[in-house]
Amino acid sequence: MQTVAIERELRSFIEECFLFGREDTFTDQDSFLDHGIIDSTGILELMAFLQETYGVQVEDEEATPDNLDSIELIAAYLRRKLNGSAWSVSKAEGEAEI
């Protein structure tokens, strides 16, 4: 899956689930915690989204700010987790497939 597609999907999820219509703007590098976008409970929802959407298992020891505190960090984390996988997105169907 292309990094741009991952980042776009992550941004859409964050805006829909955590900003609740607020006009907040943030960059892909901005810390979710520092900007009050996601709290510790929201991380659990984010982990569930990553597992369901990308088919990865987010281990407890991986649920750290180094992996999950910005769009850029999550995209890098997903690239590492999916390394070697033949992920692609069907643009017509919008579904991830292996």
Please give the mean pLDDT across all residues of the chain: 83
Lookup: tokens for 74: 């999550």
| Mean pLDDT calculated for residue range 64-68 | 96
| Mean pLDDT calculated for residue range 56-85 | 91
Domain residue extents for the chain? 3-97
* pTM over 0.85, yes/no: no
Lookup: tokens for 5: 């597609």
| Mean pLDDT calculated for residue range 64-82 | 95
The alpha carbon dihedral of 46, 48, 52, 55 has a sign of positive
pLDDT value at residue 28: 95
The 3-state secondary structure of 41-59 reads HHHHHHHHHHHHHHCCCCC
pLDDT(69) > 90: yes
Q: According to CATH, what is the number of the domain 3-97?
A: 1.10.1200.10
- Show contacts of 38-46: CB within 8 Å, 24+ apart: 38/14, 42/17, 42/18, 43/68, 45/17, 46/13, 46/74
pLDDT(51) > 70: yes
| Mean pLDDT calculated for residue range 40-63 | 94
